[in-house]
Chains A and B, each alone.
Chain A
Amino acid sequence: MNKKQLLLLDGAMGTMLQKAGLKSGEKPELFGMEHPDVVAGIHRSYIEAGSDVIYANTFGVNSRKYEGCPIPVPDVIAANIATARQAADSCADRKVRVALDVGPIGELMEPLGTLSFEEAYECFREVVCAGEQAGADLVIFETMTDLNEVRAAVLAAKENTSLQIWVTMTFEKNGRTFAGTDPEAMALTLDALGVDAVGVNCSLGPEDLQPIVKRILTRTALPVIVKPNAGLPDPRTGLYAMTPERFAREMSAYLPVGIHILGGCCGTRPSFIEALRRMVRGDSSAQNPEDASACADALTDGEADAYDAVDRGILNGVCSAGRVVNLDGKVHTIGERINPTGKKRFQQALRDRDMNYIMKCAIDQTEAGADILDINVGLPGADEAALMTDVVRAVQSVTDLPLQIDSTKPEVIEAGLRAACGRVIVNSVNAEEETCRKILPIVKKYGSCVVGLALQKSGMPKDAAERIENVETILKFTDEYGIPRRDVIIDCLTLTISAQQDQAMETLHALEYVSKNYDVHCTLGVSNISFGLPQRKQITVSFLTQAMFCGLDLPIINPNQLEIMDAVASYRALSCQDESCSAYIERFANRQDTPVSAPAGSVSKAASGDLASGANTASVSGQAENITPGSEASDSASSAAHMLHQAILRGLPDEVRLQTQTLLESRSAMQIIEEYLIPALDEVGDRYEKQQLFLPQLINAANAASAGFDLIKDRIAKTDGESVSRGTIVLATVEGDIHDIGKNIVKVVLENYGYTVIDLGRDVPPQKIRDVAMEQNVKLVGLSALMTTTLPAMEKTIQVLREAGCTAQVVVGGAVVTAQYAQEIGADFYAKDAKETVDAARKVFGA
């Protein structure tokens, strides 16, 4: 292939097939098997028009779309590839390549849908293997909207074939895909995964796609593909009205910016490719030869030179599907809270697979303004790789912050990298050769960034010089593995000044040297500095500020501490990173100085109401105002008990926490639960039954009570005391159903009655429910189903439980479930709402 040659793709296949007789609802690939001559004719007309790469008629073939089809997927692929191959090989004047064309699977992946990453991977694996075997030259994943599905596809192709991998995603006019993927995030993630070309297809015309293509070009040196529609369809007729000449003219704008792989999508025909060819021939001067050569090199060698990217001013960064954090030397914070070290409650959550607790940690840090989240699941005796997978997925379901996978175990790191959508940071390697040789190949494979601890097996470095020596060693290894310096993040190690006071300055000296002399980023676990000292925040903030001045750009901190985030905001303003101080002003404009003592009579509006809150508990941000004790004496236990009761009725979690704390001084945990929390909840339940309360208020009250339960649980976790659980219940929304709000309401209410709930989530197979119910030996299983179509799964689950000899009783509920149906399928209880589920639990567990 001529290195400066542009590559022309083909145009639409679907519309050509419809013209040739494909009917609505008929599968184009089966039509292609029956009419190979028709498909070959289309391929030939594109080749004659000038296509250098033709897409085989395989867009929609996969085992999930072809379920029930008697012809195996590989056969359908083989037949359609053969047709394209033949057409390509019969072109005498040039080499025409055949692309295995692969579209989206057609189902949405978790967490919004039910298709798992592993299922998607398997589905793509079958397709790409069949395509390679049938003789495709490359695979193109096109019209994709979900970056995670693309990752499954790319990994399947990379790990099972040696095909070149091209990817184009489909963006809407608002600059995002339907699933919320950003162009920059796509480019960063796929460049990191080592695909051979990225780009866009479908949805818009050439001109309208320009802003999106430009955004892609800021993030990757890979060849970029542009395969637009023939404009937008006419709103009145639904037909594409753009002429081939107009199409080619609009496409010509892409040549000067270095786009060399051009084609057409919906509404384009061979005449469009023909027009493109004429445009390209007449306008070859518009090409930038340097870009063209880089592009062609990358295509033929399979990989762009990573250092090239720096020369071309391409921005580095980490990302999730929907958010990019630039690694641009400016300060970006890494939240440290998802980490069980020294945190009993977090360890418990990991052991119980209580993902809700961990998701809350993620949401809190996101709302507090963290830029990246560190994920550490180090728990002795646990299957850390499996935990890492679950935690990463849970966290990404509720936040779009990019992640940092924190482990020293290669298998745990790889599990995290596989699970995480986007481009992540690996934390960490050190200056030990053995560690580097184990972990850096994984870092390279997924194209992630990596933290290097300036540390050796022999122990902590004594001074700055020793740290720098270790950094040199680490860089030697990262260079060797071809990991660019800009992807390396050095940690010069924070030691506690209460133990090793002289080390703080050594850390800062090393940090300053490293940030000035190597083209790397710097991180530090800042909080460590103040361990064991009073008023830790004072030391931590001061050290953080000095470290940022010395070049720390990725501090690992607790974003929930206001003072720390304040220090970062101030530093960004002082260092001109926060242009016009706008972020600083936004942060502090409405900040009041904290009064030394609470003003008298600061009773919130809600406290004056009779029941359950005013607008404050209704706030979407979930922040309830505190009510402070009024004129009543607040230190006596009986007063606390009264206020606790009222706070639950009013749904005020902060107040419940405060009063529970007071009560814990004089009452046992069990006493507080039995004598105060539960009776208050009962009163709420009673008023709900009498229709004096609505469900949102019942939930508010339950949530408020949970603040008390949480405090008690924390206390017990700290003292290793006995559990206060009133019994364990497994809850699940049955297989095939994804409507789980009802189940989640039941869960909140049950938990706040003191039951331990093992929440298996939604779309849960019967076998999993059985296994957990039997392993944990639970006495009650709660099943929910919303739709008539998923009711059979409820029946099947009960059957599976019974057949296995599981002795748990079963309570069922959900929109279409009736008492009669519950009886028919052998459930022990029917509950029409959360309150009735509690009643069922009381029957099972007593009291």
Chain B
Amino acid sequence: MLEELCQNMVLTSLDHGKILRSMDARLGALSGEEDTQPDPDLIAALQEQIRQCETEVLKCASPRAVLRILPAEEIQPILSGHDICRLLSGCTEAVLMAVTLGSELEKRLMIEEVTNMSNAYVLDLCASQAVEQAADDLEQRLRVQILREEKYLTNRFSPGYGDYPIQMQGLLLDYLNAGRAIGLTLTPTNLMVPRKSITAVLGISPEPKPDLYGNCTHCPLQTKCAWRARGERCYQS
């Protein structure tokens, strides 16, 4: 089942709205306040730039994923801190997940950073959006699969969220054999290479669980988040 899900990783388009929103988090310009409205030509030019970068990202990205299910009695080693325990409490199994867009996209980003920083910036945002969508898509398909078995998937939780230490990254990748399976590795400082990658833990529960972490409490950026400052949330599109 898991292999099958991982073999069907495709990206066909990116959510331009989200890319535009993440442009620099200064969204006053888009929300039509005061006299800060940028002229429509400008937005059109930007959208064209996003379109071109999207094409480039879709061309260079090769989304790959690996999943592994751990029975409850084997999850002890991946637990650390309060939040992950809360996520997995009452769960019969945990799903480990890793998704990457591969090294060719990384190389493309490096070239663009030398030749055209403006495009590099937009390309980088598009790539981030792409890996987010790849992970969302995999999660969604997994959720459907689990539902068929009349079980429920919790939401996705990654090292670095809440009090789940980023140092767990190495263990998750080891468990997933991610280097061999999808070419995903870590630096000694626990950063993933290729950079456009996501790891996460999800629980499988016999009962539906409320979305514990679909808010800002887990986010390291909450104190300086421009969205929050405006009363918006990045996860509400």
* A positions within 8 Å CB-CB of B: 24-25, 64, 104, 106-108, 111-115, 143, 145, 170, 174, 177-180, 202, 233-238, 356, 359-360, 363, 397-399, 609-615, 617-620, 622, 651, 690-697, 699-700, 702-703, 735-741, 744-745, 748, 763, 787-790, 793, 815-816, 818, 833
Using Cβ atoms and an 8 Å threshold, which residues of chain B touch A816? 220-221, 224
Q: A24-B175, A745-B117, A748-B117 are in contact. Are A113 and B187 (CB under 8 A)?
A: yes
In the complex, what's the smallest C-beta–C-beta distance from B75 to chain A, in angstroms?
Answer: 11
Using Cβ atoms and an 8 Å threshold, which residues of chain B touch A399? 111
* B positions within 8 Å CB-CB of A: 1-4, 7, 23-24, 26, 28-29, 36-39, 41-42, 44-46, 48-49, 52-53, 55-56, 62, 74, 77, 102-104, 106-107, 109-124, 160, 166-167, 171, 174-175, 179-180, 182-183, 185-191, 193-195, 220-221, 223-224
**B24, B53, B117, most chain A CB atoms within 10 A:** B117
Q: Is the CB of A789 within 8 A of B4?
A: no
In the complex, what's the smallest C-beta–C-beta distance from B46 to chain A, in angstroms?
Answer: 6
A612 to B118, CA, bound (A): 12
A703 to B113, CA, bound (A): 12
Q: Is the CB of A738 within 8 A of B191?
A: yes
Q: Name the residue on B nearest A741 (C-beta).
A: B124
Using Cβ atoms and an 8 Å threshold, which residues of chain A touch B56? 620
Q: A618-B52, A787-B166, A816-B220 are in contact. Are A696 and B46 (CB under 8 A)?
A: yes
Q: A233-B3, A741-B121 are in contact. Are A114 and B160 (CB under 8 A)?
A: no
In the complex, what's the smallest C-beta–C-beta distance from A152 to chain B, in angstroms?
Answer: 15
Q: Name the residue on A nearest B184 (C-beta).
A: A178
Task: Other than A398-B110, A651-B118, A697-B45, give 11 A-B pairs with Cβ distance below 8 A.
Answer: A143-B180, A180-B107, A609-B45, A691-B26, A694-B23, A703-B117, A736-B188, A787-B160, A788-B160, A790-B191, A833-B24
Q: A618-B45, A690-B36, A738-B191 are in contact. Are A700 and B118 (CB under 8 A)?
A: yes
In the complex, what's the smallest C-beta–C-beta distance from A109 to chain B, in angstroms?
Answer: 9
Q: Is the CB of B195 within 8 A of A235?
A: no
A111 to B26, CA, bound (A): 32
Using Cβ atoms and an 8 Å threshold, which residues of chain A touch B28? 691
Q: Is the CB of A104 within 8 A of B110?
A: no
Using Cβ atoms and an 8 Å threshold, which residues of chain B touch A359? 114
Using Cβ atoms and an 8 Å threshold, which residues of chain B touch A651? 118
Q: Is the CB of B38 within 8 A of A744?
A: no
Q: A620-B112, A691-B26, A691-B28 are in contact. Are A697 and B185 (CB under 8 A)?
A: no
**A112, A399, A609, A691, most chain B CB atoms within 10 A:** A691
Q: Name the residue on A nearest B28 (C-beta).
A: A691
Q: Is the CB of A363 within 8 A of B194?
A: no
Q: Is the CB of B191 within 8 A of A363?
A: no
Q: A620-B52, A691-B28, A699-B121 are in contact. Are A397 and B110 (CB under 8 A)?
A: yes
Q: Is the CB of A737 within 8 A of B189?
A: yes
Q: Name the residue on A nearest B182 (C-beta).
A: A178
From A114, A620, A793, A818, B119 is in contact (CB under 8 Å) with: A620
Using Cβ atoms and an 8 Å threshold, which residues of chain B touch A236? 1, 3-4
Using Cβ atoms and an 8 Å threshold, which residues of chain A touch B122? 696
Main secondary structure of the interface of A (DSSP, over half): loop
Using Cβ atoms and an 8 Å threshold, which residues of chain B touch A108? 103, 185, 187, 193-194
**A202, A738, A763, A818, most chain B CB atoms within 10 A:** A738
Using Cβ atoms and an 8 Å threshold, which residues of chain B touch A104? 179
Using Cβ atoms and an 8 Å threshold, which residues of chain A touch B195? 738-739
**A24, A236, A610, most chain B CB atoms within 10 A:** A24
Q: A236-B1, A697-B46, A744-B117 are in contact. Are A114 and B112 (CB under 8 A)?
A: no
A738 to B187, CA, bound (A): 9
Question: Would you list 22 pairs from A and B whose C-beta atoms are within 8 A, ordered by A residue?
Answer: A25-B171, A112-B103, A114-B189, A170-B180, A609-B42, A611-B39, A612-B42, A612-B45, A614-B45, A615-B45, A618-B119, A622-B116, A651-B118, A690-B36, A694-B38, A695-B23, A696-B46, A702-B117, A737-B189, A787-B191, A790-B189, A793-B189
A177 to B102, CA, bound (A): 11
Using Cβ atoms and an 8 Å threshold, which residues of chain B touch A833? 24
A694 to B189, CA, bound (A): 32
Using Cβ atoms and an 8 Å threshold, which residues of chain B touch A356? 114
Using Cβ atoms and an 8 Å threshold, which residues of chain B touch A107? 185-188, 193
A106 to B173, CA, bound (A): 11
From B52, B111, B189, B223, A818 is in contact (CB under 8 Å) with: B223
Q: Is the CB of B185 within 8 A of A695?
A: no
Q: A398-B114, A695-B121, A699-B117 are in contact. Are A738 and B193 (CB under 8 A)?
A: yes
A236 to B69, CA, bound (A): 13
In the complex, what's the smallest C-beta–C-beta distance from A385 to chain B, in angstroms?
Answer: 24
Q: Is the CB of B48 within 8 A of A736?
A: no
Q: Is the CB of A25 within 8 A of B174?
A: yes
Using Cβ atoms and an 8 Å threshold, which residues of chain B touch A235? 1, 3-4, 7
Q: Name the residue on A nearest B179 (C-beta).
A: A106
Q: Is the CB of B194 within 8 A of A696?
A: no
Using Cβ atoms and an 8 Å threshold, which residues of chain A touch B186? 107
Q: Is the CB of A696 within 8 A of B36?
A: no
Q: A106-B185, A614-B41, A697-B118 are in contact. Are A111 and B110 (CB under 8 A)?
A: yes
A368 to B117, CA, bound (A): 20
Using Cβ atoms and an 8 Å threshold, which residues of chain A touch B4? 235-236
In the complex, what's the smallest C-beta–C-beta distance from B181 to chain A, in angstroms?
Answer: 10
**A104, A741, A763, most chain B CB atoms within 10 A:** A741
Question: Lowest 10 CB-CB distances: which A-B pairs, in order?
Answer: A178-B183, A736-B189, A618-B49, A235-B4, A691-B29, A699-B118, A622-B116, A615-B48, A235-B3, A108-B193
Q: Name the residue on A nearest B102 (C-beta).
A: A178
From B23, B41, B119, B189, A610 is in contact (CB under 8 Å) with: B41
In the complex, what's the smallest C-beta–C-beta distance from B171 to chain A, in angstroms?
Answer: 7
In the complex, what's the smallest C-beta–C-beta distance from B3 to chain A, in angstroms?
Answer: 4
A696 to B22, CA, bound (A): 12
Q: Is the CB of B115 within 8 A of A611?
A: no
From B53, B115, B188, B221, A360 is in contact (CB under 8 Å) with: B115
Q: Name the residue on B nearest A615 (C-beta).
A: B48
Q: Is the CB of B191 within 8 A of A737?
A: yes
A225 to B77, CA, bound (A): 38
Using Cβ atoms and an 8 Å threshold, which residues of chain A touch B179? 104, 106
Q: Is the CB of A736 within 8 A of B191?
A: yes
Q: Name the residue on B nearest A363 (C-beta).
A: B115
Q: Name the residue on A nearest B29 (C-beta).
A: A691
Q: Name the residue on B nearest A744 (C-beta).
A: B113
Q: Is the CB of A694 within 8 A of B24?
A: yes
Using Cβ atoms and an 8 Å threshold, which residues of chain A touch B53? 620
Using Cβ atoms and an 8 Å threshold, which residues of chain A touch B193? 107-108, 112-114, 738
In the complex, what's the smallest C-beta–C-beta distance from A237 to chain B, in angstroms?
Answer: 8
Q: Is the CB of B38 within 8 A of A693?
A: yes
A238 to B104, CA, bound (A): 27
A180 to B62, CA, bound (A): 11
In the complex, what's the smallest C-beta–C-beta distance from A228 to chain B, in angstroms?
Answer: 15
From A174, A234, A609, B41 is in contact (CB under 8 Å) with: A609
Q: Is the CB of A618 within 8 A of B221?
A: no
Using Cβ atoms and an 8 Å threshold, which residues of chain B touch A692? 29, 36-39, 42
Q: Name the residue on A nearest B70 (C-beta).
A: A24
Q: Name the residue on A nearest B113 (C-beta).
A: A744
A64 to B189, CA, bound (A): 12
Using Cβ atoms and an 8 Å threshold, which residues of chain B touch A699? 117-118, 121
In the complex, what's the smallest C-beta–C-beta distance from A707 to chain B, in angstroms?
Answer: 12
In the complex, what's the smallest C-beta–C-beta distance from B162 to chain A, in angstroms?
Answer: 12
Q: Name the residue on A nearest B78 (C-beta).
A: A25
A64 to B186, CA, bound (A): 12
A359 to B115, CA, bound (A): 9
From A611, A696, A793, A815, B118 is in contact (CB under 8 Å) with: A696
Q: Is the CB of B175 within 8 A of A25?
A: yes
In the complex, what's the smallest C-beta–C-beta distance from B152 to chain A, in angstroms?
Answer: 21
A202 to B179, CA, bound (A): 13
Using Cβ atoms and an 8 Å threshold, which residues of chain B touch A113? 185, 187, 193
In the complex, what's the smallest C-beta–C-beta distance from B199 to chain A, in angstroms?
Answer: 14
**A170, A609, A745, A789, most chain B CB atoms within 10 A:** A789
